[in-house]
């Protein structure tokens, strides 16, 4: 799952807040990050009266961009997020002030536009909010160092700074999800698949070589399980059959290659395990209701592709 996730763009900003303040966000098609640089705030969802508290050094990630409120305290009047950040285009940074001075609360916020092309079924099993407490981050030195360096990096205009910032946030995103997945595996059957000794091997085999002519039999051998047991356990943990999962991942990889590279369609078909371009064409059209060529053209022109 983590291997196929990468960021395509970000909007990031340092928030400074003071007094009695509150911000109401909306559902978004991206992941959202709040990192408390100092002081504290609360996060609440409309259908949950129990807020989540964030303190200095805590990190909150919203994998699915779920709408939420973040505020000085629960129940205060809020300002729509769109009214505060409307002047900042994606890829740019800024300082956003909310409330009244003195602005003693500071937090780093970002909208992480990841490629949905690489989003797997396992990603959907993640909860709407993941909170990493300071002590958890301190146990992951690379994550801690990256977070510590981000506030100074995002304001730079040197050549390559935007790319450096994008990859730094990508590192934060992936490392945070890795920690969260280890913690959540006991709570979610889909994430438990990553800890199952056999199923995890099969998943790594699929993601490691889409071109391999995988079958249920060959994947069950990779897992060290009988065909029938492997099929049942895979479906129970992942939520779909091995071959359906394989097909979906192959075609997601095809979408990535069509969108982000100039690799010829025939070569893409071979890279993801299709022996003929016709078979690839038919499978792609069945999955996405358009041909590979149409998809590439739409992406190149900036038109919606789904």
CB count within 10 Å of CB 198 equals 18
- Exposure string of 258-297, with b = 16+ CB inside 10 Å and e = fewer, is bbeeeeebeebbbbbbbeebeebbebbeeebeeebebbbe
- Return the C-alpha torsion angle 91, 126, 45, 102, nearest 10: -40
Q: What is the layout of strands, in order, in the sheet containing 105-114?
A: 93-99, 7-18, 105-114, 31-38, 59-62, 130-132
Ordered by start, the domain boundaries in the chain are 2-187, 196-301
Pick the CATH number of 2-187 from 3.30.565.10, 2.60.120.280, 1.10.4190.10, 3.30.420.10: 2.60.120.280
pTM over 0.95: no
* The two three-digit tokens of residue 199, written as one number: 């199923």
CATH architecture designation of domain 196-301: Orthogonal Bundle (1.10)
What is the pLDDT at residue 6? 66
Q: Which residues contact 284 (CB under 8 A, 6 or more apart)?
A: 251, 254, 290, 291, 292, 295
Q: Helices 141-153 and 161-184, interaxial angle, to 10°? A: 150
**Residues 27, 127, 71: CA angle, nearest 5 degrees:** 55
- Which regions in the chain score pLDDT beneath 50? 117
- Exposure string of 71-106, with b = 16+ CB inside 10 Å and e = fewer, is bbeeeeebeebeebbeebeeeebbebebbeeebebb
Q: Helices 197-208 and 242-260, interaxial angle, to 10°? A: 30
> Residue 288 and residue 304: Cα distance in Å, rounded?
12
Q: Which residues contact 294 (CB under 8 A, 6 or more apart)?
A: none
Secondary structure of residue 23 in the 3-state scheme: strand
Secondary structure of residue 271 in the 3-state scheme: helix
Q: What is the layout of strands, in order, in the sheet containing 22-24?
A: 48-55, 40-45, 69-71, 22-24, 79-80
End-to-end CA distance of the chain: give it in Å, rounded. 22
What is the pLDDT at residue 218? 96
> Residue 259 and residue 190: Cα distance in Å, rounded?
28
Backbone angles phi, psi at 33, to 5 degrees: -125, 135
> Residue 87 and residue 7: Cα distance in Å, rounded?
22
**Residues 206, 286, 242: CA angle, nearest 5 degrees:** 25
What is the pLDDT at residue 284? 96
**Residues 7, 8, 14: CA angle, nearest 5 degrees:** 70
């Amino acid at each position: 799952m983590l291997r196929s996730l990468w960021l395509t763009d970000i909007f990031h900003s340092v928030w400074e807040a003071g007094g009695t303040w509150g911000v109401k966000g909306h559902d978004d098609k991206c992941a959202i990050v709040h990192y408390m640089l100092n002081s504290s705030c609360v996060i609440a969802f409309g259908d949950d009266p129990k807020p989540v508290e964030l303190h200095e050094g805590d990190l909150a990630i919203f994998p699915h961009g779920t709408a939420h409120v973040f505020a000085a305290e629960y129940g205060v009047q809020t300002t729509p997020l769109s009214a505060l950040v409307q002047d900042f285009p994606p890829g740019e940074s800024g300082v956003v002030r909310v409330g009244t001075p003195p602005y003693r609360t500071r937090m780093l916020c970002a909208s992480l536009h990841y490629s949905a092309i690489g989003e797997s079924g396992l990603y959907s099993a993640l909860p709407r909010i993941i909170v990493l407490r300071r002590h958890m981050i301190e146990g992951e030195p690379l994550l801690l160092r990256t977070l510590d360096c981000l506030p100074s990096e995002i304001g730079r205009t040197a050549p390559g700074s935007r790319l450096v910032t994008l990859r730094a946030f990508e590192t934060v995103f992936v490392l945070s999800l890795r920690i969260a997945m280890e913690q959540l595996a006991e709570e979610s059957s889909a994430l438990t698949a990553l800890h199952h000794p056999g199923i995890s091997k099969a998943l790594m085999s699929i993601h490691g070589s889409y071109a391999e002519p995988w079958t249920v039999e060959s994947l069950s051998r990779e897992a060290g399980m009988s065909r029938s047991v492997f099929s049942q356990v895979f479906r129970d943990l992942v939520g779909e059959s091995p071959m359906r999962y394989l097909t979906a991942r192959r075609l997601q990889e095809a979408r990535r290659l069509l969108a982000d590279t100039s690799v010829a369609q025939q070569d893409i078909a071979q890279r993801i395990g299709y022996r003929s371009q016709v078979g690839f064409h038919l499978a792609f059209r069945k999955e996405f209701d358009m041909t590979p060529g149409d998809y590439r053209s739409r992406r190149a022109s900036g038109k919606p592709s789904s």
